[in-house]
Amino acid sequence: MKIVKTIEEVREQVKAWRKEGLSVGLVPTMGYLHEGHQSLIARSVAENDRTVVSDFVNPIQFGPTEDLATYPRDLERDAALCEATGANLIFNPEAEEMYAPDFCTYVDMDHLTKGLCGASRPIHFRGVCTVVSKLFHIVQPDRAYFGQKDAQQLAVIRRMVRDLNMPLEIVGCPIIREEDGLAKSSRNTYLSAEERQAALCLSRALNKGKAAIEAGETDAAKVKAIITAEIKAEPLSRIDYVEIVDWNNLEPVASTEGSILTAIAVYIGKTRLIDNFIIER
């Protein structure tokens, strides 16, 4: 496995693989990899001849008051996980490699990015779409892998690829959780021991909401109330949003019938965590 820092090195390696007739998978990450990322890498390794993992904390998807400076980074640890899982190349550029000093071209989306996380993070998805688009152009993969934990991101990337006729497949992969139910996240490292325990209110609330739907509840407002009450019962929590939306267009729904995404964002102390479940019918 190789670690490269420049776009040219990635392109030269992929060009060599293509000459051999090999397929290429891409796993875009911001590093500080955990078992959730590892599951994406393993899926890519199983479905492609070669796998590229991008390891880049993308500055343009962070707002001015967000955690760009403190976002956890550990390339040595990431490299060990990638190699053990079967990845072939890590692309770990500096910000200056990805964005020229006079960079001014962005990929934006009008609709799917306005609600859910986009409501409180207005520049986030412009940054995500731009960097992911750049990675697709650099690597030119056959498939790219994204986790369901970032469900809005998955929906946005799928729509971008469709709308812009990008020649690759987007593969969504299930949420990976800790044994106690907390969704794996690099930001979990920010939590104190007390906050880590409090964070279980997210998965607990979603489980209650999902159970209500499976028991026959079709009123989205009632399901949201069940989830909201469970989160508010935790004193360290502060809700950003609890939403039930159509999984295809991310529009709010009144009924839980059909394919739906139930998504939440909750602050535990100062740490913002997200979680969700999807029911596809």
101: its two tokens: 């000093």
154: its two tokens: 């998955």
Sequence-ordered list of residues with C-beta below 8 angstroms from that of 112, at least 6 positions apart, any chain: 118, 125, 152, 155, 156, 159, 249, 250
Contact at 8 Å (CB) between 127 and 94?
no
Q: Which residues are catalytic?
A: 37
CA distance 202 to 245: 18
CA distance 14 to 120: 38
12: its two tokens: 């030269």
Contact at 8 Å (CB) between 241 and 120?
yes
Strand partners, 95: none
